[in-house]
C-alpha cells in the first residue's frame, strides 16, 4: 500500500502543508463550507440540483478511468443517472428509485476497491448519488456534498502529483482551480 493509498483510506482528511497549521486549515474549511452553504441556500431547488449535476459531471472522468483501468463498475450507470437529472431539470421527468439505487451500487463498488483510483471513483459516484438526491429533494446538503467531493478530489490529485508529500492545502493549484470552477458554477446558476 502506498502513501497515496493510505491517504485515500482517510477520505475527507486534508493533509495540511507546512504553511497551514492544523487549526488554520480546519478553520479555512469551515469558513468555506459556511460561505458555500449560504450561497446554496439562496438558490431555488432547481438551482441546487443544477449545481450538483455540474459538479458530478466534472468528476465523472475519475469513474471512467477507474473502470478503464480496473474493469470494475459501470460508468454508463452514472451517465444515465446524470441524464435523468438533466431531464428532470428540463421537463420534470422523475429520477426514479431504481436509478438512484443503481448509482449507489457503483458507489459501493468504488468503496470496496483497493488503490488510489478507487477513492477518486468514489468521489465521482458519490457526487452523482447526491445530484440525484438534489434533483428529487432540492435540499442544500446534496450540492454542498458534491462541492466538497470536488475539493477532496482536487486535493487527492495534488497529493498524488506530489508523490504523497504533505503539501496539499488550500493554496494548492488544483484545489484553487476547483474552487474557481465551483464559484463560476455558483455564479452561473444564481444568475439563471
Q: Which tens digit of pLDDT belongs to each residue from 40-81?
A: 999 999 999 999 999 999 999 999 999 999 999 999 999 999
Nearest to 155 by CA among 116, 107, 103: 116
* Cell numbers given for 189: 446558476
Q: Is 14 left (phi over 0), alpha (psi -120 to 50) or beta?
A: beta
Residues 6+ apart with CB under 8 A from 132: 81, 84, 85, 95, 99, 100, 103
Rounded distance between C-alpha atoms, residue 140 and residue 44, angstroms: 10
pTM: predicted TM-score of the whole model, two decimal places: 0.83
Residue 174 has pLDDT above 70, yes or no: yes
Rounded distance between C-alpha atoms, residue 114 and residue 129, angstroms: 21
Residues 6+ apart with CB under 8 A from 155: 14, 15, 168, 172, 174, 175
Residues 6+ apart with CB under 8 A from 45: 137, 138
Percent of the chain's residues with pLDDT above 70 = 79
More confident residue, 172 or 127: 127
* pLDDT of res. 11: 43
Burial of 191 (0-12, 13-18, 19+ CB in 10 A): exposed
Mean pLDDT of the chain: 83
Asked which of 57-71, 109-123, 147-161, 175-189 is least confident by mean pLDDT, the reply is: 147-161
Amino acid at each position: 500500500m502506498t502513501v497515496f493509498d493510505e491517504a485515500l483510506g482517510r477520505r475527507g482528511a486534508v493533509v495540511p502543508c507546512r504553511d497551514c497549521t492544523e487549526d488554520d486549515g480546519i478553520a479555512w474549511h469551515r469558513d468555506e463550507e459556511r460561505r458555500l452553504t449560504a450561497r446554496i441556500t439562496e438558490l431555488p431547488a432547481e438551482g441546487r440540483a443544477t449545481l450538483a449535476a455540474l459538479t458530478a459531471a466534472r468528476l465523472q472522468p475519475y469513474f471512467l478511468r477507474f473502470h478503464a483501468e480496473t474493469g470494475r463498475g459501470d460508468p454508463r450507470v452514472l451517465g444515465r443517472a446524470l441524464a435523468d437529472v438533466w431531464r428532470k431539470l428540463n421537463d420534470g421527468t422523475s429520477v426514479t428509485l431504481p436509478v438512484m439505487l443503481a448509482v449507489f451500487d457503483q458507489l459501493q463498488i468504488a468503496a470496496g476497491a483497493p488503490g488510489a483510483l478507487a477513492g477518486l471513483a468514489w468521489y465521482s459516484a458519490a457526487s452523482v448519488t447526491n445530484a440525484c438526491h438534489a434533483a428529487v429533494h432540492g435540499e442544500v446538503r446534496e450540492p454542498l456534498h458534491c462541492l466538497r467531493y470536488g475539493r477532496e478530489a482536487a486535493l487527492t490529485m495534488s497529493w498524488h502529483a506530489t508523490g504523497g508529500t504533505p503539501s496539499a492545502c488550500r493554496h494548492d493549484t488544483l484545489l484553487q482551480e476547483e474552487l474557481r470552477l465551483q464559484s463560476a458554477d455558483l455564479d452561473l446558476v444564481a444568475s439563471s
